[in-house]
Structure 1
Amino acid sequence: MFSEVVVVGQVARDLVIEVPDAPAACSSAPVRHHQELLGGQGANQAVALRQLGTSVSLVGVVGQDSTGDALCALARADRIGTTHVVRRPGTETALIVDVVDEHGRRRYLEHIPDDTLVTETDVVAASAPISAAGSLIVQLRQPAPAALLAARLAHRAGTRVVLDGAPQDPALLALADVVRADAGGAELLTGEPVEDVAAAARAAADLRRRGPSLVVLEVSGRGNLFAGPEGTWFLPDVETEVVDPTGAGDALVATLTAALTRRRPLETAACLAVAAAAATTEHAGGRPRLSRPALDRLQPRQLEAVHA
């Protein structure tokens, strides 16, 4: 049975360490709390989709090691399809370490071996679920040839193509239905910092002329601009107690995709997406904890219309 959404992205062992104070050297900190989780951008998005009731399959790579065994078991426990999570012989499973202190300061370290990145061969093996899905999410930290092939397969089949990152290849941008870039990605796309809503609106309008019907850009430190065929809106970041920003973007992309896949209006999808991002910052680690009450509590009640 195929899934509503397929995610092509990173799968990693996520060590979340909470300490009283985040030191320059992580090894010297007394540990208050420690978790080992299924993590990585791809897995975080897949978890969020399942928490929202959307069926999802994951295309990623782990090692043929005990850590890979554990991560695949955790994904199956989350009811994520793992048929196309590749077990790469001789590869060490990717590792993320997120150290967070009680003041909201953090150190983020990662070890992502090249062999844990998705290849074109891996994408070809997953062509059937990609073509049958309602939406495909592709993280652009994966190699460009694999990302381009996945987008082509989805586009050819009429599957919505959601790009998470800053597409540098015009061919990839032309295949996209949705592009979401954080502040750093938005700067890569525009060549300059996107520091205000007007700049984001201009950049989004330019990007939409090059392919995607919906562009979502983070305005640094302020919120997100959503520009689509139904209109352009700016949603400020939701005010909440931020413990750790890790995974907020993953939750935003996953929730937006889930809503669009279920044919929700853009205004609704945007409000749910920023609420999910806010909810994910309220705890340490990038694994989302999404629920209807959390989204209702944090959902903005109005959108700021923007005239591009």
Structure 2
Amino acid sequence: MNRTVVLGQLARDLVLMTGELPEPGTSADVSRRIETLGGKGANQAVAVARLGAPVSLVAVAGDDVVGDQLLAQARADGVDVTAVRRRRGALTGLIVEILEPDGRWRYLQHLPSEVLLTPADVAAAGAVFDGAGAVLLQLQQPAETVRAAARLAAANRALIVLDGAAEEPGELLALADVVRADEHEAKLLLGGDVTVDRARKLLDRKPRLVAFGVPDGNLFVWDGGDLLLPHGDGPVVDSTGAGDAFTAALTVALLDGAGPQDAARRAVKASGKAVGRPGGRP
């Protein structure tokens, strides 16, 4: 299988599980603490690797010890990190998740501009795009950076997967093959509630498959068909990372030659497995 390139965030994930949130000026005990490689880009790259596909990550780490540790973990996970930029003088990104027993979560994150990708970073990573079968682009990165990566992916005739919503998606939609968004992001893209008709209009812009979160599951629309798949019926410990597992599995399935319905079911299955454990690590 051809290699997948994932462009997105790399960060240290710190998950704190607690039975109650403290009132201001008080404290509470943490029942479990997890520290690991995280960030949407790294999570998706690890998920692709765990699905047995070769993968390269394009991201930014600081030049600190934390960056050293996270890159070592990514390599151990089977992720190629030769295109990860080390930003001099920057601290590697940090995401703190506070997780309650009922699955509710809160994030505190330190992701300053220094650890976001720039068009220059994309240009420097150009070699990893050569021969790539798929390029997965997260729209939480600066718009000009994502556009630069999309153009490079298109020049290499890779399958282009957009993850999220952009303020001005015009050029990106004209380049993308697949668009994935959660319910909130999908409403921004569509200008209203997610419906089959609205989603199908995006296909006129170029994408051949859209996958949008809806209240009762995930809606998939492609030329000639649509499919609504409910969420899995297993226990939900933590929904963090479910979308990353979903997007990675969808990308790998399509790259493997699966049709829309098969790829959709594989994506939902991966997402269902992800919610059964704490943290965003797939």
Normalised-by-shorter TM-score class:
over 0.9
Task: State which drifts further: 14-23 or 62-71.
Answer: 14-23
* CA-to-aligned-CA distance 1:13-32 (integer Å, 9 cap, x gap): 00011112244669822011
Preserved CA contact (<8 Å) 2:83 2:128: no
| Cα-Cα RMSD | 1.6
Q: Trace 1:168-183 onto structure 2 (pairs within 5 A).
A: 168-183=168-183
1:105 aligns with 2:100: no
Residue 227 of structure 2 aligns to which amino acid in structure 1?
W
CA distance in 1 between partners of 2:151 and 2:10 (Å): 22
Partners of 1:22 and 1:106 within 8 A in 2? no
Preserved CA contact (<8 Å) 2:219 2:229: yes
Aligned to 1:206: 201
Query: Does the 8 A contact of 1:3 with 1:57 survive in 2?
Result: no
1:90-122 Cα shifts (integer Å, max 9, x gaps) = 111110011112222222211111111111111
Structure 2 contact 94–109 (Cα < 8 Å) conserved? yes
Alignment correspondent of 1:149? 148
Match of 1:164 in 2: 163
Which one-letter code corresponds to 2:279 in the other structure?
G
CA distance in 1: counterparts of 2:104 and 2:117, whole angstroms: 32
How far apart, in 1, do the equivalents of 2:259 and 2:180 lie?
17
Q: Hey, what's the Cα distance between the residues in 1 that align with 2:147 and 2:250?
A: 21
Alignment of 1:1-308 (within 5 A): 4-23=3-22, 28-167=27-166, 168-194=168-194, 199=195, 201-219=196-214, 221-229=215-223, 231-288=225-282
Q: 1:259-307: CA deviations, max 9, x gaps? A: 111111221111010111111111110001xxxxxxxxxxxxxxxxxxx
- The answer as to whether partners of 2:117 and 2:142 remain within 8 angstroms in 1 is yes
Secondary structure, aligned partner of 1:70: helix
SS of the residue 1:132 aligns to: coil
Contact kept in structure 2, 1:224 and 1:237, CA below 8 Å: yes
Distance change >3 Å, CA 211–CA 97, structure 1 → 2: same
2: CA distance, partners of 1:265 / 1:193: 26
Distance 1:126 1:24, change over 3 A: farther
Superposition deviation, residue 240 in structure 1: 1.4
The count of aligned residue pairs is 281
Structure 1 CA distance for aligned equivalents of residues 70 and 102 of structure 2: 30
Question: For 1:192 and 1:250, how far apart are their aligned partners in 2?
Answer: 24
Q: Structure 2 length normalisation: TM-score?
A: 0.96
* Contact 2:203–2:223 (Cα < 8 Å) also in 1: no
Letter in 2 for 1:33: R
For structure 2, the 5+ residue unaligned runs are none
Please tell me whether the aligned partners of residues 7 and 59 of structure 2 are also in contact (alpha carbons under 8 angstroms): yes
* 1:299 paired residue number: none
Q: 1:229 to 1:140 in 2, by over 3 A?
A: same
